Amino acid sequence: MNSKIILGLAVVAISIGLYGVTQTPSTKEIPTQSVNQVELKILAWQLKRDVVQGDKLVRRDFEAVYLTRQQAGSHGLTEDTRFNWQQSLFAKQALQQGGIVTPELLTSPGQTDYLNTVIEPGFVPFNVTVPGEDVVGGTISVGDLVDISVLSAPKQNLANDKRVDDIQHLTMTPLLAQVPVLDMVSRQRSVSTLSSEKVTEVTLVLQVTNRQVAQLTIAKRIAEIEVHKSIGKEFSDDLEADSSDVISLSGQRDEIREYRFK
């Protein structure tokens, strides 16, 4: 009798347990929120002003911007754009404010398309090579204006002779003023095959007219050319002197005059 009661109670307990399991609401699966990955952006440079072909650009003309890969791709960029701000940069074409500038839109001295980019209509490039020490009046750099004068003597070709024999008729006269320097190339050459001594020569690429080309060509054949950093057109005529401004020509002996600063 007792065993029947125990068995009945067990059946009831099992039934109640099974009923509870079937009635328990199923646990809903909590959707996991996808974590958005941070998209890498590409550094680009945007113009802060309008420019025309040949304009020189510096760091302050640009603003750094960061583009998505899709935005960068529309400008042909696949990686960060970096410029050498120590280098002279010039626009190859007219560019608008707010535009993205890529390296292909700029040029620098020494590149094949540089001279055609910066030279103004109606002018031609002309090379003048002078000793490094003759580039006087301060450091000359690309974009500067220079004045050119010639040192000559009527009975001597100073283009070929370094020694001045006719000291009584030596003259220095201005030839050209306010000439733009498009490019500069420095190189060293040996003084002679018997010596290791070297001198520095500087080739200036100047922007000149055809008339000025003719003047410079003659000057290179008959006189010594001096190049000076220009301090203004109004001062260019001051680059004129002759022997009488330095030595006395009236006496038996040539005496160096005393200079006084006024």
> What is the domain partition of the chain in residue ranges?
42-117, 120-245
**Lowest-pLDDT choice from 14-23, 155-164, 199-208:** 14-23
Residue 254: what pLDDT? 46
Mean pLDDT, rounded, for 27-41: 62
Decide if pLDDT at 55 tops 50: yes
Q: Which pLDDT tens digit goes with each residue over 232-261?
A: 877 777 777 777 777 766 654 444 444 343
| pLDDT score at 260 | 40
As a whole number, mean pLDDT of residues 5-23 equals: 60
- What pLDDT is stored for residue 215 in this prediction? 95
CA dihedral 226, 232, 234, 240 (to 10 degrees): -20
- Average per-residue pLDDT for the chain: 80
Q: Which CATH class is domain 42-117?
A: alpha beta
SS3 state at 103: helix
Res. 23 pLDDT band, cuts 50 70 90:
low
pLDDT band of 231, cuts 50, 70, 90: confident
* pLDDT tens digit sequence for 211-224: 999 999 999 988 88
Residue 53, pLDDT above cutoff 50: yes
pLDDT given at position 239:
74
Instruction: Establish how many alpha carbons lie within 13 A of residue 58's alpha carbon, considering only the half-sphere containing its beta carbon.
Output: 3
The pLDDT of residue 29: 58
pLDDT, greater one: 96 or 240 = 96
> Lowest-confidence range among 3-12, 93-102, 164-173?
3-12
Q: Which has more confidence, 40 or 42?
A: 42
Residue 34 has pLDDT above 80, yes or no: no
Q: How far apart are CA 223 and CA 240, in angstroms?
A: 14
Measured distance CA(237)–CA(104) in Å, rounded: 43
Kindly state the DSSP code that residue 156 receives in the 8-state scheme. Answer: B
Tokens of 20: 């509870």
- Mean pLDDT (whole number) for 34-53: 85
Backbone φ, ψ for residue 83 (5° rounding): -115, 150
Distance in angstroms (rounded) separating the CA atoms of residues 3 and 98? 95
